[in-house]
Amino acid sequence: MKFLTTNFLKCPIKACDTSNDNFPLQFDGGKCQLVQDESIEFNPEFLLNIIDRVDWDALLKVAGELGNVNLPPKKPTFPCTVPQLTDVGMAVLNDLHIMLLQTSITEGEMKCRNCGHIYYIKNGIPNLLLPPHLV
Amino acid sequence: MKKYLLYMVQVHLNFRKAELESLADLYNLSIDFSQYDVDSPFFVVELENDQQARDWIKRSILTRGIYEYWGQGATLDELHQDIKRQSNFEQDLQEKFKHSTFKFEFECYKGNSKANRIKQIETFRYLDFEGKIDMKHPQEVFTVVEEYTPVSENIGGKIPTRIFFGRQIQMSDRSAMEKYDLKKRPYKGTTSFEAELSLVSANIAQVKPGTVMYDPFAGTGSFLVAGGHYGSLVVGSDIDGRMIRGKGAQVNISANFKKYDESSQFLDVLTMDFTHNALRSSLEIDTILCDPPYGIRESIKVLGAKDPERFAGKEDLEIDGEKAYLRRDYIPTKKPYALDSLLDDLLQYSSERLPINGRLAFWMPTANDANIETIVPMHENLELKYNCVQEFNKWSRRLLVYINRGDTFNGPSNHGLKRSKDDFRERYFNNFN
């Protein structure tokens, strides 16, 4: 499961929708195995569009849980198109590429901050299925 | 405005115009389809410039290419006369390419001539091109497109009945069919969708670069691959974890993206029940493209107990001092679900999650009984834009494409109505007899 996906997943239990704690899910850094796939190509134009969708506060939270405390506290602002990017901007974008798209969690656990239900990541695939009493 | 010749393929005709319209709309091109003829592979059309022609056709699957129109005739002589007659012949067509390197090509539809092609090319001498002939990297490709009347279904004609001449502007994306051919795909299954129509589906759904596409019934990821090809960040989910897991690191959905060199487009596949969705509601999903389960090869299931009494109190079950349902190896039970309800859920979800003018496209199979009307699911916020049918012998499937028009649309709805027959699966395996 790519790091970016942690920014898209909430607890699927409907009762948790009324809580603000159902997103992002909480990661136990000690139980998560991270790998980096350097072969995933950096596409700045594509990433500029995707960064728009990132919830920065959630990203900070999860990155902290997984041991990365070097992110800027506020979402960096980027120009709309790649040619307008400064060298510094490009470097920041590349760092985000490494974290969001090249890094993935192969094994681990994530927990709803509201209800405490645990979801497992197995062989890189998150399992968000629920037992009958929670559906 | 300038004239262009669009050379199309004569297959999947129920999808061809939908693809052309959708791609035109995607690039904000207004195209007059009044001369479009479903029975012909040729469409002479007016556009403002070459860039428009390139935009329109570069990702098309159901066309071959688009050419700057220089003329047409029933014979080569008539063609030459027609070319010379074009009002812009000298200053716009001939002069501009006088010094370009070039080559000639022939395209033949439903036949093949045995004529000496070199001699035929020499009849274009009056064009007075002074540039060098370059067979490998010419600046311009001039194409003679010949239409034949075939002798029979399998035997092509020998003498063309209509000849077009034009300058190649843009070849279509049809070669992608080869690249994504299922035969060459590392991971596939019985429910994998063929390359051609999955790419066409992505075009009609207007999957765009740098956007998010979601397939809630991802299976082996056929539509994810198609969406990735058009530059979208694709995410899929499926209640059946075995399907999306594949058969090891070299034979799974991720391996498919690696093979196609499009790993950066692939976000993830999630083991998830679409009706108990974990994608946060503030996440914009631009396109939803899928082939829902119809209970043919896989039965329709959602989370929950078929027999709730049997599961009463099971949540208290503990194994080694741990709640059983919180263990890593816990497998939740599933229950059957009605197709109509699943499609209602899909439309409702799309109306909530797609941006205004965002598209939902999905496939739906139906039996071809003359006396049974196919009822297409409808939602009050979604405009049904296309209903493209692919006919098989005794059944058919259709691509339904909806556009989210928002709360004020007030379209017809058949939410909650029983629309489909229960016995499609049984009848499918009995060959609809």
Distance, in angstroms, between B263 CA and closest chain A CA?
6
Q: Which of residues 215-234 of B touch A (CB under 8 A)?
A: 231, 233
Q: Would you call B272 and A129 a contact, using CB atoms and an 8 Å cutoff?
A: yes
Q: Which residues contact B233 (CB under 8 A, 6 or more apart)?
A: A46, A50, B210, B211, B212, B213, B265, B267
Cross-strand partners of B271: A127, B238
Looking at chain A, which residue has its C-alpha nearest residue B241? A127
Residues of chain B short of pLDDT 70, as ranges, are: 297-298, 370-372, 422-423, 433
Find the distance separating the first CA and the last CA of chain B, reported in whole Å: 55
Contact A43 B264 (CB under 8 A): yes
Asked if B308 reaches chain A (Cβ–Cβ under 8 Å), the answer is yes
Nearest to B231 among A39, A46, A135 (CB): A46
| Subunit contact B272:A40, Cβ cutoff 8 A | no
Task: Judge whether B87 is closer than 8 Å to chain A, CB to CB.
Answer: no
- The predicted structure's pLDDT at residue B295: 77
Distance from CA of B215 to the nearest CA of A (A): 15
**End-to-end C-alpha distance for chain A, whole angstroms:** 24
Q: Map tokens 């035997």 to a residue.
A: B155
Distance CA B226, CA B207 (A): 9
Q: Domain ranges for chain A, please list them.
A: 3-125
| Same fold: B2-174 with B177-308+334-429 | no
Decide if A46 and B282 are in contact by the 8 Å CB cutoff: no
pLDDT at A52: 92
CA distances from B433 to A92, B369, B391, B429, B430 (A): 63, 10, 17, 9, 6
pLDDT at position A96 is 96
Q: State the fold for domain A3-125.
A: N-terminal domain of TfIIb (2.20.25)
What pLDDT, on the 0 to 100 scale, is given for residue B370? 62
Burial track B58-73 (b if 16+ CB lie within 10 A, e otherwise): ebbbbbbbbbbbbbbb
B197 touches A at CB < 8 Å: no
Specify the amino acid at residue B361: A
> Within 10 A of A74 (CB to CB), how many other CB atoms are there?
9
Residues in chain A: 135
CA of A132 to nearest chain B CA: how many angstroms apart?
4
| Contact between B326 and A117 using a beta-carbon 8 Å cutoff | yes
| Nearest Cβ partner for A49 among B211, B272, B314 | B211
Low-confidence ranges of chain A (pLDDT < 70): none
Instruction: Say yes or no: domain B2-174 is CATH 3.30.2130.30.
Output: yes
* Nearest Cβ partner for B279 among A9, A117, A135: A9
Q: Give the closest residue to B53 by CA, choosing from B71, B42, B37, B66.
A: B66
Contact A132 B235 (CB under 8 A): no
Cα–Cα dist B64/B164, whole Å: 14
pLDDT digits (tens, 9 = 90+) for A61-77: 999 999 998 999 999 99
Please state, in angstroms and rounded to a whole number, the distance separating the CA atoms of residues B318 and B327. 10
Cα B129 to chain center, whole Å? 40
Give the gap in angstroms from C-alpha A70 to the nearest C-alpha of chain B: 23
Instruction: Report the Cα A49 to chain-centroid distance in Å.
Output: 16
User: What are the C-alpha distances in Å from B292 to residues B15, B188, B218, B274, B343?
Assistant: 19, 17, 9, 11, 8
Angstroms from A27 CA to nearest CA on chain B = 15
Cα dihedral sign for B420, B426, B429, B433?
negative
User: Across the interface, which of B209, B235, B273 has its CB nearest the CB of A129?
Assistant: B273
B224: Cβ contacts below 8 Å, ≥ 6 apart: B213, B215, B218, B234, B235, B236, B253, B257, B266, B269
Q: Which of A26, A53, A82, A105 to mutate to test the interface with B (most CBs of B within 10 A)?
A: A53
Rounded distance between C-alpha atoms, residue B375 and residue B143, angstroms: 46
The predicted pLDDT at position B423 comes to: 67
- Residue B429 has a pLDDT of 73
CB nearest to A46's CB, from B210, B254, B284: B210
Contact A130 B282 (CB under 8 A): no
Domain residue extents for chain B: 2-174, 177-308+334-429
Candidates B270, B279, B282, partner chain A, best to mutate (most A CBs within 10 A): B270
Q: How far apart are CA B216 and CA B270, in angstroms?
A: 9
What DSSP string describes A92-117? HHHHHHIIIIIEEEEEEEEE-TTT--
Contact B241 A126 (CB under 8 A): no
The candidate with the shortest Cα–Cα distance to B4, out of B59, B56, B75, is: B56
User: What would the CATH number be for the domain defined by B177-308+334-429?
Assistant: 3.40.50.150
In the chain, the amino acid numbered B71 is G
Report the SS3 class of residue B426: helix
Name the DSSP letter for residue B186: S
CA pair distance B247, B241, nearest whole angstrom: 11
Under a CB-based contact definition with an 8 Å cutoff, are residues B5 and B53 in contact?
Answer: no
* Residue whose C-alpha is closest to residue B237's, from B184, B202, B288, B193: B288
Task: Map tokens 């001039």 to a residue.
Answer: B142
| Chain B 318-337, residues with CB within 8 Å of chain A CB atoms | 325-326, 328, 330, 332-333
Cα(B106)–Cα(B146) distance, integer angstroms? 7
Strand partners, A126: A121
Residues of A in contact with B302 (CB under 8 A): 135
Query: Which two three-digit tokens encode residue B337?
Result: 């679900």
Q: Which of B244, B265, B267 sits opposite A125 (nearest CB)?
A: B244
The pTM assigned to this predicted structure is 0.95
Question: CB B241 to CB A127 under 8 A?
Answer: yes
> Are A47 and A96 in contact, with CB atoms under 8 Å apart?
yes
Would the CA dihedral through B347, B350, B352, B355 be positive or negative? negative
User: Would you report the helix, strand and coil content of chain A in percent, each value rounded to 5?
Assistant: 40, 20, 40
Contact at CB, B263 and A37, closer than 8 angstroms? yes
pLDDT given for residue B427 in this prediction: 74
Which 263-282 residues of chain B touch chain A by CB within 8 A? 263-265, 267-273, 276-282
Give the separation between CA B243 and CA B246, rounded to whole angstroms: 6
pLDDT attached to residue B433? 67
Q: Alpha helix locations (H) across chain A? A: 44-51, 56-65, 87-97
CA distance linking residue B402 with residue B205, whole number of Å: 9
Residues of A whose CB is below 8 A from B332? 129-132
* Total residues belonging to chain B: 433
